[in-house]
Amino acid sequence: MKKIIVALFVATCFVQVNAQEVGIIMGTARELMRDDVEDGLIKLKEMGVKYIEGAGTRSMPREQYKALLDKHGFDVVAGGTGFEMLQHRDSVAKVIENLKFFGAEYATCYWIPHDGNNFTFEDMKKGVEVFNKAGKQFAEAGISFLYHAHGYEFRPYDGPGTMYDYMMENTDPRYVNIEMDVFWMRNPGQDPAALLRKYAGRYPITHLKDRLIGTEDNLNGRQDKEKNVVLGSGDVNIAAVMKAARETGVKYHFIEDESSRAAIQLPMHLAYLKSLDYDVKAVDATVVKLHKAMVEADSLNLYNLTSKELTYGHSSGAIEDQDAYVYALVSGGSDFAKIEFADQDITVKGNVAWVRGVMQADLVNAGVTSPITLKMLYVFTKESGYWKLLARQAVR
């Protein structure tokens, strides 16, 4: 039996990320709310929805609608405004008054007006000018202003990058930031996760929406609404978006579904997001259990936590299979006295997960304790509902 000097297991995946809340933009619940607003709100509450985007009144006096929202525990985070409303201080003031009535933190503009499919650099320059001016007025009132792009902004112009890049570089982040609709970033052929990282800190909110695989990209800001599919089943790569969002400080995700199946798909969207969160936590827990079994030379758990197809790569270049890996840990040749695992980063894609981190360990060999530091890559596969180590590579 090995003597355990100390075992410290550090799980960093969640404590180091910014808290994110998931809700819906109220258009997604249009069928639920059509006949009976309160009944629709009750159904949303039963699904676990709390945070909403939308400061409309559902065809009733706003005091009545706000009372229903309060009664059922909903928080209005953001509300929309038209571009024309942004061009005059008086109309901006009216938008601010309405948002404050609902307790919203954000005002969102969803479109820059332009002639048909002819979005020009002059249109973009006007948008930037209007956004900066109105954004400052919103900020002075304690409201954050956001623009929701639809993809036509990614056209080239007589300058570096695209008009979207021009917008990002010429709007003042104190007054203007972006609500990223990941569908409308993917639709013009962009990578939403890469954009989140490129302009980190500029995206406090996303719209989560997936796109049918095989859909053709375009730059016109329009797409067949029936191309909205269940989150995780399309070509947006929602898992990568959620990972990038955790890394870059996104605060809220609002599910949007413009398809005729929205009421049916909403519970499926929510279930997918919960499964992502569950799998990340499950992989994190498996890493902790694996390290514990390594320190304790627990052969039963070492076998249970690894795949029969295990490929275990050492920093020396040696490669072991499952039996050789377990034997090396329990034979007494060298013992782990302590393992710390820091800077952990977990990515889950279907039934495969990979974990990067830095292992700092005390290795006891012939009675001599030596500290080691290794950069680690673990690959896990889900087998019969359990995450098992499939491959591992270490680099000094």
Is 94 among the domain residues? yes
Select from 231, 260, 289 the last residue of a domain.
260
Do 133 and 179 belong together in one domain?
yes
Residues 247 and 142 in one domain: yes
Does 132 reside within a domain?
yes
In a domain, 13, yes or no: no
- Phi-psi map region of 297: left, alpha, beta (phi>0 left; psi -120 to 50 alpha): left
| pLDDT per residue as tens, the chain (396 positions) | 333 333 333 332 222 233 589 999 999 999 999 999 999 999 999 999 999 999 887 789 999 999 999 999 999 999 999 999 999 999 999 999 999 999 999 999 999 999 999 999 999 999 999 999 999 999 999 999 999 999 999 999 999 999 999 999 999 999 999 999 999 999 999 999 999 999 999 999 999 999 999 999 999 999 999 999 999 999 999 999 999 999 999 999 999 999 999 999 999 999 999 988 889 999 999 999 999 999 999 999 999 999 999 999 887 788 999 999 999 889 877 688 899 998 888 988 889 999 999 999 998 888 899 999 999 999 999 999 999 999 999 888
For 347, the domain range is 281-395
Residue at 118 is within a domain: yes
Do 110 and 219 lie in one domain? The reply is yes
HSE-up (13 A, CA, CB side) for residue 271: 7
Considering the domain architecture, whether residues 217 and 294 belong to the same structural domain is answered as no
Backbone angles phi, psi at 348, to 5 degrees: -115, 130
The helix (H) or strand (E) run that includes residue 304 is: helix 299-304
Exposure letters 16-40 (e unless 16+ CB within 10 A, then b): ebeeeebbbbbbbbeebbeeebeeb
Say how far apart CA 167 and CA 157 lie, in whole Å.
12
Q: Do 201 and 324 lie in a common domain?
A: no
CATH code for the domain in which residue 368 is found: 3.10.450.50
Q: What single string gives the DSSP state of each residue in 82-146?
A: -TGGGGSHHHHHHHHHHHHHHT-SEEEE-----BTTB--HHHHHHHHHHHHHHHHHHHHTT-EEE
Task: For residue 342, report the phi and psi dihedrals to the nearest 5 degrees.
Answer: -115, 170
DSSP 365: E
CA 276 to chain centre: 10
Residues with Cβ < 8 Å from 80, sequence gap 6 or more? 53, 54, 55, 107, 108, 109, 110
Burial of 289 per CB tally in 10 Å (0-12, 13-18, 19+):
middle
Domains: count for the chain = 2
pLDDT in the model for residue 58: 74
My answer on whether 101 and 230 are in the same domain is yes
Closest alpha carbon to 392 in 322, 328, 329 = 322
Nearest-angstrom CA–CA distance, 270 and 230: 9
**225 and 152 share one domain:** yes
Cβ neighbors of 133 (< 8 A, separation 6 or more) are: 86
pTM of the model: 0.78
Co-location of 232 and 305 in the same domain: no
- In-domain check, residue 36: no
Distance of CA 54 to the CA centre of its chain: 21
Tell me if 178 sits within 8 A of 226, measured CB to CB. no
Same domain, 84 and 198: yes
- Cβ count near 298 (within 10 Å): 19
- CATH code of 210's domain: 3.20.20.150
Using DSSP, state whether 239 is helix, strand or coil.
helix
pLDDT (0 to 100) of residue 15: 25
Domain boundary among 260, 294, 311: 260
pLDDT of residue 19: 57
User: Would 211 be classed as within a structural domain?
Assistant: yes
User: Can you say whether the dihedral through the CA atoms of 315, 316, 322, 325 is positive or negative?
Assistant: negative
- Supply the pLDDT for residue 391: 96
Together in a domain, 244 and 341: no
Is residue 200 a part of any domain in this protein? yes
Q: What tokens does 68 get?
A: 């229903």
In a domain, 230, yes or no: yes
Gap between the Cα atoms of 352 and 77, Å rounded:
34
- Residues 286, 243: one domain? no
Closest among 308, 328, 320 to 394, alpha carbons compared: 320
Kindly state whether residues 236 and 109 are assigned to the same domain: yes
Residue that has been written with the tokens 């997936």 in this structure: 210
**Ordered DSSP codes for 44-95:** HHHTT--EEE----TTS-HHHHHHHHHHTT-EEEEEEE-TGGGGSHHHHHHH
